[in-house]
Structure 1
Amino acid sequence: MKELKNLATRISFDHRLTPYMFTQPYSSKLAIEQLGSYKVNSSIINGLYLYYQGENQIYSPRGTSSVDTFLNTAYRIKESEMNKLKEKMEAITKPEVFPIELLSKNNRRNHIITYMYPIPMNNTLSYGSVAFFVKESAFKKMTQNVLSDFKGNMYIFNEKSELLASNSNGEKLELEEVRKLARGETGVFNKTIDKENYSFVTVRSDSSKWTFLTAMPTAQFYGRMSSLKLTIIIILSIIAIVGILTTIYMSFQQYKPIKSIALALKSKQSEQMPKRINKNELESIRESIELIHEDSEQLQKKMKAHRPFIKDQLLLLLLKGDIKKQTEINDLLVDLKIDFNGDRFFISLISFKDRIEEHESLQSREKILSLLAKMTYKDCVGYGVELIHDNAAALIVSMKDNSKDPIVAQQNFVENLKQQLRQYSKVMPTIGIGKVYEGIGWINRSFIEANASIEYDLLNKDNTIYFENMTPSNEGLFWYPIDDQAKFIQSVKQGDAVVARETLNTIFSNLKEQNASTYMLRCMCFDIINTILKNTLELGINLGTVQVKRLTEFKSLEDLEHTLNILLTDICEEVEERKESHNSMLRDNILEYIHGQYKSHELGLEHTAEKFQLSASYLSRFMKEQTGKTFTQFVWQLRNEEFKRQLTETGKPIKEIVLDIGYVDVANFTRKFKKEEGVTPGQYRKNNRNSA
């Protein structure tokens, strides 16, 4: 149970498994693969499924299917148990363990055990659930040595006295009789059942509250019966099974190639395809190809609708340098109609810190972000994305490869950018510009340099600064360049371990080339150590005494560089984890605010964005990514559920209820309600009261 709880917690906070990720063609495949990796990590899991409330889809390592299809085909669950499972999926607020009865051809009892956890964990405002299915056979394997070769029965009950698993050697006992004994006191006792004496051992777990009960005929403790007959039966059964399996194998070999193609296509089919009987393999292949073509067209339509969100995610990946396969990135650039002019890139970072928010409204910032969505000037074209953590916007600019002077082209573009910004802002934002690099994989280096330029601007009181123009503040004979130091600091703050190690290597190479005394070198080394310690404290990361001691006890430049490289990996990982934690906290705060204010007439996208100091476009994208719904859809769902509740549980007039849930236009709400529910509010009240 601890193992599954840890898996559920990791799934709950995995940014790759949010509702938004499953709706995207590119990221949904990665999300499904990620689910599969969690399943592989446990040896007892038979099925792993992820469900988000309000949807009709269940996600598993095998793909996506509708709830009804999953319940009917995956495990053939009884109809009564299906309703029970649906209710728990929609309303679960704490972890639960319970059995689910399955359909059985021979009327024998058959079930699976369900471990269900809410998403997010330890939060009353859950919006989904993760479920692990464990077959009863998994428990039988773990308890098979309890009975050994004795005859008897082994039972496991949960805290509600529901049977989770049983293991029997010999005659089974009446389940209800055993259940009564399990509810009683624990310990060892004897009881006569059907004129036969049995010895019982009952143990109750303090952690899981499960009850483990073992029942054996008392006579077994005084003698054992021969197992020769059972052994012969087992041997003959094995021979028969091997013969049957061999016959089946030889039969399938005759049409294996066609069958393989049919199965391969079937595995990629949508679960919504209508079922047909008496289909041969050729018909199945033809229908599969037609269905794949239809699914492809639907995916193209969905991708077109979600293109703005995918575009921002791709630009953020380029800024982070998180490029695993160049070909996939190029394909996405084409699909999203991002047309870079050439293979030379630089970053223009527009910072709103102490500029826009102090002197102007968020509406001005929205206009600036709209301007930066795409900018072209002569040989350069730039695509912008908002950086909510940095309170800034980054413009990825590319220029033609045949530009005679890249530096001049860069300066001309920046000057044009400044002229455009002056139209929307009385006080110019700070602009930091990184170096020009060749290759899309070097964009993150320019991004780090642009961040470093912003920090340098705070000292120089200028609103535009080029990283290349940063000059060393130390004019002595020996020291390392300040621009390397600034780039190193920003790479650590951004959590970019690759650039941090590259810059650190450049700094140490510079130290090794200088003809400085040992004392001067040690002073410069302690300056590097002091820089790291100061910035980790600014980030809120406290290094342990052992780590600090190890830094100060270096024996050579190589020794210090090796120690710092190890430390940088830990620091950058901590920075990335904090960014993810910030997203989770922001999501919970926004959802809590909406749940508390959805009845207010003033609640809206712009109002909420201003409340949390976000742009409306970012809040809209953030809601879609985290919940799978737009801001308007999410608020409508809350208001609609409250409206239906008051319709059925109170006698208030419809107009009064509409006003109470935050709507002013009663007629407009009525039309929308009828479109969503298929009936008018009055008819809904009448139908549900009659059914109740």
Structure 2
Amino acid sequence: MTYFKSKLFVKYISSYMFILLIPLLFLTLFVYRNAVTNLRSEIEQSSLAQLTQAKVIIDGRMKELGEIASRISYDERLTPYRVHDPITSGEAIQALDQYKATSSIIGELYLYFHGDQKIYSSIGLNNYEVFAKNTLFRNWDKETLFMDLNETKFPTMRPADMVSNPNGRQDSMLAYLNPITPNNPNPHGTVMYLIKESELTSLIDLILGNYKGLTYILDNKGRVLVGNRQGEELGDTELHSLFDSLSPGIHDRKIGGKAHSIISVKSDHNGFSYVTMMPSAQFFSSVLHVRSFIMMLFFIVVIAGAAIAVLLARAQYQPISMLVEFAASKSHAARSNNEPLPSKKGGNELDHIRNALQTYSSRIDLQEPFARNHFLSLLLKYGNAQSLTPELLDAFNLAFDRSHHFVMVLGWQLSDDDEPRSRRERSEMLAQLEFPELAAYGYGVELSQPDQFGLIISFNQGYEADAFVQVSRIVEAVRGTMLETFDFIPSIGVGSCYASPDQLNQSFIEACSAFELRLSTGNGTVTYFEKLSYASEQDVWIPGGTLMKLSQSLKQGSYDVTAQIIREAVSNLQSSGLSALLVRCIGADLLNTMLKTASELGHHSLVQGIAPNMLYSSSLDELERGLLRLAAKICKQVEQRTQKEEQSVIERIAAYIDTHYCDMNLSLETIAFEFGISPSHLSRSFKEKTGVNFLTYIWKKRMEQVKHQLETTSDPLKDIIVKVGYLDTPNFIRKFKKETGCTPGQYRKMHGQGFRAGAVLDVDDE
């Protein structure tokens, strides 16, 4: 029950009660109307699809009838001369019968030539008077029929009409008049098709389904050709007034005082319109059972709502309570480390969490560039990029998903007027580069030397057969960017290109070798390791490039790369088939390179530890093990010397800070420039060697001095703060209070020695 003491927990319960109970008052109507709307939409869309399908089928039938008329007009058997000739008229009748059989919807087919008193069909030749007597249309007298047969110039469909035959049988049929020759302004005849209305109504019978309504097919003049009526009837006046303003699509109209859903599609082929009308009220009758279900659900939720609200509020509040406890514990840790604490005064638990997150976020933002640089530095030293987790890559906005990778080392000569700000701008610009036209991007790494910078490049090989061509283009793009941005071109060493990012450490060693062996120490020189490897003046058993990489990897203290070079060299010796003497000579090359590098590094004692029989070992495996042991010793001493040098530098930097901490211009960049190392390397090394970060160390020194001044002097607080190099007095007071629990004035009153009465604070530190 302790949860109920929290205002936030009570607020959650109230919110859930509102969310769960109040909307239920409107749920029945909403769901009911939504169900009706969805059902209506489904029916309308289904009807629209069926109407469209019927339109496509009927359009195809009409097009088919037009093609039959066209073939009749060009059929030599059906020319006026041959039709009238008693000898060939039988062939004409047979031809008409064949054309009739080509379409399933043709009830009968007639051929009539203008001015003729005879009409021809698939069953024989008839005098027009006999035809008109035997085929009676209820709404189409023989004079109008005769005139239409002679004067029709465009395909015309007459509405369904009752047609009687001599046997007294009646059928509802449509008459389709098609002049021949088609598209001729002066046709010489007419083909008339009689189509049973049922042939068309059968295509649209399934549109309404179980619903009542009306379905019509109208011609391009708005006349009803076919009507399929279920349950209701509309008069001609209502139909004309409705269809005159009806456009294709789905519409809502009131017909006879009732709401109807009207769906219409129109044919682009012949202008026919297909229309379905259904009363909207019948949609509601299909979802009446939903209303009963919703009412029952309403009462169930009302009963269970309160219990659910409490459970949900508790589940929501529990992780927040844990976060508050976690933030409080971290705040105590921050207090012990003399770091700013999140404010706890006022607000609820969320305010406490937000304040803590803001504090930690600002701290992370400050350290992220240095952490990213440290991460990339380790990648250059050890490789293994593919073993990195996606979360870690995402955290630093890194990706190694391209097909090729290599490393560049950029260097420039530092001048006296090269300020920390300009170096920082170069670092920010080189931190992440992208060249879309070359399908390449790069990540910058600050090296330990302030005048050198590493650049990891990943790219997809384009149409060039040789990846080196694209590498050189990327290098030129980097040079151009540096020239455009900073008006100078650095010296560049370029390592080999590899297909896997796991080999970036090898490319880095090669880039360092190329940079070290560049022809000129001035800016603008580009040296490719591959070119150094190929520039051999004499035949050697081990390529010069391999020996250069071996030497450089030892200088960098990179045992992984050194071991790989040694193993590859020994493996090549094993497969070479050379004599034992030559193998010993080649082994001597490897050993001499390693000993020479050790001597350059100042490790002369290693020569004394070489086993005399290393070159005379019984197998290449023993030679490899001996070389690897020697490489491990050299790399270990390089690491120890580097750590010792870094420790010495950090001690000198700490002493420098102890002397100059009152300088308001003191910063990571200025000290890095003063001691000739990169800011990123300084930040990482300072934290590793002292246990606190750079800014915290300066803050502690300034705090100690402020406390001492408060305890021993009566100087105004503002003057004291300025003396220690801090300009933002209000911010200093807030941080002072977070660390000590009291304001500077209160601290002076509690710890001052003889200055309590006369002390004057010219700043409102409360």
Please report the TM-score for the alignment, with normalisation by the length of structure 1: 0.51
Amino acid across the alignment from 1:586: V
- Inter-partner Cα distance in structure 1 for 2:588 and 2:426: 43
3-state SS, counterpart of residue 566 of structure 2: helix
Gaps of 5+ in 2: 1-317, 331-351, 757-766
Amino acid across the alignment from 1:501: A
Higher mean alpha-carbon deviation, 586-595 vs 625-634, is at: 625-634
- Inter-partner Cα distance in structure 1 for 2:389 and 2:516: 31
Which of 452, 459, 463 matches 1:399? 459
Contact map agreement 1:344 1:399 (CA 8 A) in 2: yes
Which of 320, 329, 337 matches 2:381? 320
- Inter-partner Cα distance in structure 1 for 2:417 and 2:533: 31
- Inter-partner Cα distance in structure 2 for 1:458 and 1:513: 36
Q: CA deviation at 1:484?
A: 0.9
Q: CA deviation at 1:403?
A: 6.3
3-state SS, counterpart of residue 406 of structure 2: strand
Contact map agreement 1:670 1:681 (CA 8 A) in 2: no
Query: Deviation string for 1:181-224 (max 9, x for gaps)?
Result: xxxxxxxxxxxxxxxxxxxxxxxxxxxxxxxxxxxxxxxxxxxx
Which of 522, 526, 542 matches 1:464? 526
> Residue 506 of structure 1 aligns with which residue?
568
Which of 343, 357, 368 matches 2:426? 368
- Inter-partner Cα distance in structure 2 for 1:509 and 1:357: 47
3-state SS, counterpart of residue 549 of structure 1: coil
Q: Are positions 1:685 and 2:734 aligned together?
A: no
Q: CA deviation at 1:433?
A: 1.4
Which of 547, 550, 565 matches 2:610? 547
Contact map agreement 1:605 1:631 (CA 8 A) in 2: yes
> Residue 338 of structure 1 aligns with which residue?
398
Which of 581, 584, 598 matches 2:661? 598
Runs of 4+ in 1 over 6 A off after TM superposition: 291-302, 459-462
Alignment RMSD (CA, Å): 4.2
1:152-551 aligned within 5 A: 270=326, 272=328, 306-321=367-382, 323=384, 326=387, 328-352=388-412, 355-356=413-414, 363-377=421-435, 378=437, 379-388=439-448, 392-400=452-460, 405=465, 406-423=467-484, 428-458=489-519, 463-471=525-533, 474-512=536-574, 520-541=582-603, 542-543=605-606, 545-547=608-610, 549-551=612-614
3-state SS, counterpart of residue 389 of structure 2: helix
Indicate the structure (1 or 2) with the bigger Cα radius of gyration: 2
- CA change 1:331–1:659 in 2 (3 A) is closer
Q: CA deviation at 1:331?
A: 2.0
Q: CA deviation at 1:397?
A: 1.1
3-state SS, counterpart of residue 384 of structure 1: strand
Contact map agreement 1:432 1:467 (CA 8 A) in 2: yes
- CA change 1:630–1:513 in 2 (3 A) is closer
Q: CA deviation at 1:503?
A: 1.4
- Inter-partner Cα distance in structure 1 for 2:720 and 2:354: 47
> Residue 98 of structure 1 aligns with which residue?
none
Q: CA deviation at 1:582?
A: 3.2
Amino acid across the alignment from 2:427: L
Amino acid across the alignment from 2:557: G
3-state SS, counterpart of residue 540 of structure 1: coil
- Inter-partner Cα distance in structure 1 for 2:732 and 2:450: 39
Contact map agreement 1:364 1:424 (CA 8 A) in 2: no
Q: CA deviation at 1:347?
A: 0.8
- Inter-partner Cα distance in structure 2 for 1:394 and 1:644: 44
- Inter-partner Cα distance in structure 2 for 1:441 and 1:553: 35
Query: Deviation string for 1:435-492 (max 9, x for gaps)?
Result: 2212222211211221121233258988112222224565434432111111111121
- CA change 1:403–1:612 in 2 (3 A) is farther
Amino acid across the alignment from 2:532: M
Query: Deviation string for 1:648-674 (max 9, x for gaps)?
Result: 1234555664455345x5xx4366235
> Residue 613 of structure 1 aligns with which residue?
676
Query: Deviation string for 1:48-75 (max 9, x for gaps)?
Result: xxxxxxxxxxxxxxxxxxxxxxxxxxxx
Q: CA deviation at 1:360?
A: 5.0
> Residue 652 of structure 2 aligns with which residue?
589
Contact map agreement 1:496 1:572 (CA 8 A) in 2: yes
- CA change 1:408–1:599 in 2 (3 A) is same
Higher mean alpha-carbon deviation, 674-683 vs 502-511, is at: 674-683
Contact map agreement 2:411 2:453 (CA 8 A) in 1: yes
- Inter-partner Cα distance in structure 2 for 1:576 and 1:619: 17
Q: CA deviation at 1:685?
A: 1.8
> Residue 343 of structure 2 aligns with which residue?
none
- CA change 1:659–1:540 in 2 (3 A) is same
Higher mean alpha-carbon deviation, 610-619 vs 529-538, is at: 610-619
Q: CA deviation at 1:588?
A: 2.1
Which of 628, 631, 636 matches 1:568? 631
3-state SS, counterpart of residue 493 of structure 1: helix
- Inter-partner Cα distance in structure 2 for 1:474 and 1:324: 33
- Inter-partner Cα distance in structure 2 for 1:333 and 1:415: 28
3-state SS, counterpart of residue 431 of structure 1: strand
- CA change 1:652–1:356 in 2 (3 A) is closer
Q: CA deviation at 1:386?
A: 0.4
Amino acid across the alignment from 2:545: D
Contact map agreement 2:377 2:445 (CA 8 A) in 1: yes
Q: CA deviation at 1:372?
A: 1.0
Contact map agreement 2:584 2:616 (CA 8 A) in 1: no
Please report the TM-score for the alignment, with normalisation by the length of structure 2: 0.46
Q: CA deviation at 1:627?
A: 5.4
- Inter-partner Cα distance in structure 2 for 1:591 and 1:384: 28
Matched positions, count: 407
Contact map agreement 2:449 2:678 (CA 8 A) in 1: no
Contact map agreement 2:374 2:684 (CA 8 A) in 1: no
Q: CA deviation at 1:640?
A: 2.2
